[in-house]
Structure 1
Amino acid sequence: MSPQERKPGRLRNWLAQGFSRAEDAVYIGLGFILAATAFTLLITEMIFFAGYVWAAALSENVVLLLDRILLIIIFAELLYTVQVTFREHILQPEPFLVVGLIAVTRRILVLTAEFSKFAQEGDPIFRNAMIELGLLTVLIVALVVSLRVLKEKGKLAERA
């Protein structure tokens, strides 16, 4: 092989390594940002929780607390996704589907907690909330089916 034929291969490898390092740097930065955000949300939520317990207002704020807890779980799951992608250099769809499932569940909980308010505000608002709830239910079914299909596909790949 002549020196001219080897240069494109070396250049290609050098560029690929450079892009891989840049990708790693981006994922490290994202990981730090997600971890800091999740940690900040967790500390803030602990402070709110202590305040609600101290004021004996926990029962009135349980939906808000659950909403924030699910948000923290979403950040933790995104952090896990970044970690897996950084470690294996493979983008896996399952963690994103889990994040979507948590986000939809979070929205359903908030929406159902506000149903009494929507019923008092009038028929169009309540109807829109019911439509949103129906669409969210369809989305949950689609996400669960997708997770199930990916799980079965993974089992078939392991057997082969």
Structure 2
Amino acid sequence: MDEGPRRNLWIAWMETLDGLGYITAGFSFLLLGMVVFAHAWYTFLKTLSSGVLPAALTLIHDLLLVVILLELFRTIINFLKTHIITLEPFLYICIIASTRRILTTGAETAYSESLTADIFHRYLLDVGVNVLVIVALVFAVFMARRGGQSSASLR
């Protein structure tokens, strides 16, 4: 008995399930992004009376999370079209995440009631590390673009 057609049927079935998994993950990222977006604006409007700057920083923090979720959604769309996972979107996501971290720690430090020298030094170290990460990631994006998409993608 020839196992070739049976094996091909299983592979086709698994590829279909794989595609459905990516589709459901993509819709989940999109839906979660929309929920976070709506909640971010609700929180902004609710906390605006207690101060514009903290409310704006929280909104920016949440909107950057929405951008990360949309970038993941876009990455899944591109994968479903091409069956190639590219490196660049993940580098962008990491850059945005590091920027979010800098903004979050900056806001926490700026509004801290008990800011000690030790906490401030940890804040500076955290910001310095995140800036270095961003510089390294920007360099990686530059190298990925310079090297062409074929060297920056996985099949």
The runs of 5 or more residues in structure 1 that have no matched partner are none
Paired residue total: 151
Letter of the structure 2 residue corresponding to residue 86 of structure 1: L
Q: 137-146 or 117-126, which moves further after superposition?
A: 117-126
The structure carrying a bigger helix percent of its residues is 1
- The structure whose Rg is larger is 1
Letter of the structure 2 residue corresponding to residue 79 of structure 1: F
The runs of 5 or more residues in structure 2 that have no matched partner are none
What is the aligned partner in structure 1 of residue 10 from structure 2? 15
Q: 138-147 or 105-114, which moves further after superposition?
A: 105-114
Higher relative contact order at CA 8 Å, sep ≥6: structure 1 or structure 2? Answer: 2
What is the aligned partner in structure 1 of residue 69 from structure 2? 75
2:100 corresponds, among 82, 101, 106, to 106
Letter of the structure 2 residue corresponding to residue 89 of structure 1: H
- Structure 2 length as normaliser, TM-score? 0.84
8 Å contact from structure 2 (residues 54, 107) kept in 1: no
What is the aligned partner in structure 1 of residue 31 from structure 2? 36
* Identical residues among aligned pairs (%): 26
What is the aligned partner in structure 1 of residue 88 from structure 2? 94
Instruction: Supply the distance in 2 between the matched residues of 1:32 and 1:20 (Cα, whole angstroms).
Output: 18
CA deviation after TM superposition for structure 1 residue 20, in Å: 1.0
8 Å contact from structure 1 (residues 85, 91) kept in 2: yes
8 Å contact from structure 1 (residues 97, 147) kept in 2: yes
- Structure 1 length as normaliser, TM-score? 0.81
Instruction: Supply the distance in 2 between the matched residues of 1:144 and 1:83 (Cα, whole angstroms).
Output: 23
What is the aligned partner in structure 2 of residue 85 from structure 1? 79
Q: 147-156 or 80-89, which moves further after superposition?
A: 147-156
CA deviation after TM superposition for structure 1 residue 113, in Å: 2.6
What is the aligned partner in structure 2 of residue 143 from structure 1? 137
